[in-house]
Structure 1
Amino acid sequence: MQTFFNVTMLAASGEGKTTFLSSMDENIRNDLSSNIGLNLSLNPELAAKLDQNKERLKASLSKGTITCFDGIQSTADASSYPLEISHKDSDPFLVVSFTDIPGNWITDDSEKVISYLKNSSVIVIPVDASAIMNDLTEQKTNAENLFRVLKPGLEQSSEPRLILFIPTKCETYINNEAASARLVNKIKMVYKEIFDHITWTSHVKSAIIPIQTLGNCSLMYHKKVKIDNEEVWKPIFSVTQRNQYNPQAIEYPYMYLLSFILEQHYLNRKKGFMGFFRNLFRELNYLKLTNEKLNSQCKSYSQLKVIS
């Protein structure tokens, strides 16, 4: 019997939702699989879609600068990527479904977004580090809009939840501990309303895990561009090494959320009459040990900050 866990990507357009998901390529899946001793597989068509997105990211590094019109563009519809987890030569026992929802839905179709959040065990919030560190006014508005959908989405259930803030485009901001601390503090300040709410919500855990989305690039400046008849500030990056796609720390968000999901699966499976016998015969030990292993490895990443 399969158990399903939902992961929803929640952020305004341009924050890096689709870019982050595109990192879940075959290399990452194979690395995670060998790490935890379980098979991780995607539908071939969906895997090909992620690979196409990754090729677009690679292509953006072929010239001297990167603008918001390079790489992956905003999505118009929700996309789901069910990651199947199984033992070797066995059917999947766990399915972790990642859903990438369009950023404009947060304001244009909030009820639909809230519906996704109600059914999500993990909510991933990518944050454009270049925008938040340069005090762009859109970031405060984005945070307020997120809270309007996140609050009712969390209140509908007392089931354990995890909210992961993933600062993207961090190539310029995590070179040392001091820079990383400034980034974390800025996120806490801009998203204060959300963090305050999480503090009073005992069943919700949260963490901040910065990543370098592309590697080999650095922020130059922000420029106003017209998107959908609206002028917005967007970053311009310089490419430090062309044609070298080299994301950094991209595996840690996946490891952290999988650790949480495996822990929840373990706790659910050990409940009740059947759970007693599963514990007695140590059928669930692999879940507990895998969770502990992933959690330990995540702690080795000094930039990861557990908030609650």
Structure 2
Amino acid sequence: MTTPERYTIEVSMLGPSGAGKTSLLASMYAQYSDLIGATDLELSPVGDTAVKLSDAVARLKALSRSVQVRDSVDGTAAAGLHRYLIAVGQKGKKPRFTLRFTDYAGGLLRERGGGGVGEQVQQALANSPVILLAVDTAALLEQDGLYHDRINAPHLMYEQIKTLLQGNEQHRLLVIVPLKCEKYVGTEAGAHHLLDRVREGYKPLLDHLAHQEVRSRVGCVVVPVQTTGSIVFSSITESAEGRLQFHYRSRRPGAPYAPVDTDQPLRYVLRFVLNVYRQDRRGFWRETVDEMFSTDDALRAAVNTFASGTVSRPGIRVLQDHPRLGR
């Protein structure tokens, strides 16, 4: 199953190493088939995407059964770029477009002018109408955000996105996704506090997006996601050499894999990219055929039915709306 490049819509994962970008993709994949239900929407993994994401889901489920988990942060970039293809269309019919999720070792963002994988990362970001910005929630919140700059690199994220928007009129959606947030969003007050800290921790970026020269072409949503639902932050240790280790624990022995809100980023993404496809990518001839046979109306109805499942609860917030969110 191949799709012409113009019908392939890039979705880039932005964020530091260890924030949980791959886990986010895997958890979205695990949930969507359970949530599509009776809608007329079909999301089909292409090539080895199903195998790679299924393996990642298996690791998440095994993690949920662990009593203690250590998450090391050493500040280095393991070379690697991974792409996951999801074809989108109506059930039983040929896909209309393909989502290409690009995931990479966070440190690759620091590679400049060296070609290779780092250059591919920059190209993927430049071509992405949708960017998922992963946030390590413990680094953002613990010890009053002591490790936020070191781990989440908010100023680097700001510079990356600012550069993308310079001289480029492409409409974009930024979905900020706090991950590993199980400890913090269990209460309404905790979820509100997390949202406030996102606003503070990424203030230069959010202020830039709200500028009158930028606001009309960029939407922004904050969606905390619990990729396991059962593993919560415990503590942070730092070695004499300055190597950080974040410690997590199971809520209780044998706690089940129970992800929460992993579908929500995908609902926003699909609503936005459907409009990117319809307005920017279809082309004259496909648009003409769609109008003749009402295929566009059917796909739009299917996506909108799925996207209507976005929830309104503390911590989830559309910070900056955009017409292509079609809300």
1:132 matched residue in structure 2: 140
Range with greater deviation from structure 2 (184-193 or 141-150): 141-150
Aligned equivalent of 1:7, options 2, 11, 19:
11
1:54 equivalent in alignment to 2:46: no
1:39 matched residue in structure 2: 42
TM (normalized to structure 2)?
Answer: 0.82
Range with greater deviation from structure 2 (127-136 or 158-167): 127-136
Letter in 2 for 1:147: Y
1:251 equivalent in alignment to 2:259: no
2:229 matched residue in structure 1: 215
Identify which of structures 1 and 2 has the higher relative contact order when contacts are C-alpha pairs closer than 8 Å and 6+ apart. Answer: 2
Range with greater deviation from structure 2 (285-294 or 82-91): 285-294
Alignment of 1:212-291 (within 5 A): 212-225=226-239, 231-241=242-252, 242=254, 244-268=256-280, 275=287, 278-279=290-291, 282-291=294-303
Q: Distance in 2 between matches of 1:108 and 1:251?
A: 32
2:210 matched residue in structure 1: 199
Q: Distance in 2 between matches of 1:261 and 1:130?
A: 30
1:117 equivalent in alignment to 2:128: no
Structure 2: any 5+ residue segments left out of the alignment? 321-327
Q: CA RMSD in A?
A: 2.8
Residues 174, 182 of structure 1: alpha-carbon distance in 2 compared, 3 angstrom cutoff: same
Q: Distance in 1 between matches of 2:313 and 2:238?
A: 35
Q: Distance in 2 between matches of 1:42 and 1:13?
A: 25
1:103 matched residue in structure 2: 106
2:198 matched residue in structure 1: 187
Cα offset for 1:186?
A: 0.5
Structure 1: any 5+ residue segments left out of the alignment? none
Q: Distance in 1 between matches of 2:221 and 2:68?
A: 31
Letter in 1 for 2:264: Y
Alignment of 1:287-306 (within 5 A): 287-306=299-318
Q: Distance in 1 between matches of 2:60 and 2:316?
A: 25
Cα offset for 1:270?
A: 8.3
Q: Distance in 1 between matches of 2:82 and 2:316?
A: 27
Deviations 1:7-57 (A, max 9, x none): 0001110111111112143x4232344354122111352211112222222
Deviations 1:60-85 (A, max 9, x none): 23332111159xx9853110001011
Residues 299, 92 of structure 1: alpha-carbon distance in 2 compared, 3 angstrom cutoff: same
Q: Is the 8 A contact 1:166 1:208 kept in 2?
A: yes
Q: Distance in 2 between matches of 1:162 and 1:222?
A: 33
Cα offset for 1:281?
A: 6.1
Identity %: 25
Q: Is the 8 A contact 2:72 2:246 kept in 1?
A: no
Range with greater deviation from structure 2 (287-296 or 129-138): 287-296
Deviations 1:116-136 (A, max 9, x none): 211001100111111101134
2:324 matched residue in structure 1: none
Residues 143, 82 of structure 1: alpha-carbon distance in 2 compared, 3 angstrom cutoff: same
Aligned equivalent of 2:172, options 136, 161, 166:
161
- Partner SS, residue 196 of structure 1: helix
Q: Distance in 1 between matches of 2:227 and 2:257?
A: 9
Q: Is the 8 A contact 2:82 2:103 kept in 1?
A: yes
Q: Is the 8 A contact 1:207 1:304 kept in 2?
A: yes
Q: Distance in 2 between matches of 1:276 and 1:41?
A: 25
Residues 36, 266 of structure 1: alpha-carbon distance in 2 compared, 3 angstrom cutoff: farther
Q: Distance in 2 between matches of 1:173 and 1:30?
A: 27
The alignment of Structure 1 onto Structure 2 pairs a total of residues equal to 302
Q: Distance in 1 between matches of 2:167 and 2:100?
A: 20
- Partner SS, residue 106 of structure 2: coil
